[in-house]
Structure 1
């Protein structure tokens, strides 16, 4: 099992189809990005065109007013939407976020577990477009939405 983020291997990433890379991460054969641990994010499912994350903000993710910082929502949705696009990226290529938008509908309180789903709307040769939603695991309520455009780049 890989757990050290310094084990990142760009050559391996580029050599694999994006979906296969994410599934290797789920199997513990590839280390997740270090920011996921800092933000309390966990990839739990990767299917063609769709991924799911579970996340629980803690007090360390708070802002000056004591609520969950907007950057936490942005990181969660960027991960979910970007990884959804990654499921469409062929071997020999990678991707990067060009832009994303986040709409916070209600506050995720520290300790509340949420699920973020990213879904591809367009997976092309040069760009990928995805949307995301964050729902409470226990209450099913909508907490945030997002959209992104990613660039697909040859290795």
Structure 2
């Protein structure tokens, strides 16, 4: 070594890093969201289905995570919730496909909101677990994906739901099962 190189960086590594930086083009994304306390305060005032229908109708703000990941609650009915996402580079992991955490967030949202849709007024829920199986990669070329959550069983204290993530042709991309705890909504019991 001639003293200008550190022991951990050889000229080959430095050159490679320089080439990567030269090829990389910075991208930016700006987004906004509404105060999440508004919708949180409305939880339990009406049935879970009515609450989610108000969100779909734009009467209540969507949660900030929806703006962060750019997904949408497309539809909801008793025991079923559907979210959509148009995948973009901002969802990518280092190997050039959508990060598994994005899959999991969509599936958790779909399963959880399906459970919420069956809850009576003054009742809330939280996910206890989420078991995800990844079957296919998602890239920007995949096009819009849909996460469809359905309730399999619900009682007074727990609920079981599943969610399927499918592409525009209906091919299964991922599957999840979630159990949720049901409880009186804060300040509503």
TM-score bucket (shorter structure): over 0.9
- The structure where strand makes up a greater share of residues is 1
Considering only CA atoms, is the larger Rg found in Structure 1 or Structure 2? Answer: 2
Per-residue deviation, 1:91: 0.6
In angstroms, what is the RMSD of aligned CA positions? 1.3
Deviations 1:105-148 (A, max 9, x none): 101112521111100001211111101111111x2211111110
* Equivalence for 2:163: 132
Map of 1:9-48 to 2, 5 A cutoff?
Answer: 9-48=39-78
Tell me the TM-score normalised to structure 1 length. 0.92
Larger relative contact order (Cα-Cα within 8 Å, sequence gap ≥ 6): 1
Per-residue deviation, 1:7: 4.9
Per-residue deviation, 1:9: 4.0
The size of the alignment, in residue pairs, is: 152
* Equivalence for 1:71: 101
* Equivalence for 1:82: 112
Structure 1 Cα separation of the partners of residues 103 and 125 of structure 2: 21
Q: Assess if the C-alpha contact under 8 Å between 2:96 and 2:139 holds in 1.
A: no
Q: Assess if the C-alpha contact under 8 Å between 2:39 and 2:61 holds in 1.
A: no
Structure 2 Cα separation of the partners of residues 29 and 57 of structure 1: 26
Per-residue deviation, 1:54: 1.1
Per-residue deviation, 1:38: 1.2
Cα distance change on mapping 1:5 and 1:11 into 2, 3 Å: closer
Structure 1 ranges of 4+ moved more than 6 A? none
Unaligned segments of structure 1, at least 5 residues: none
Q: Assess if the C-alpha contact under 8 Å between 1:7 and 1:31 holds in 2.
A: no
Deviations 1:49-77 (A, max 9, x none): 01111112211111121211010000000
Tell me the TM-score normalised to structure 2 length. 0.76
Unaligned segments of structure 2, at least 5 residues: 1-32
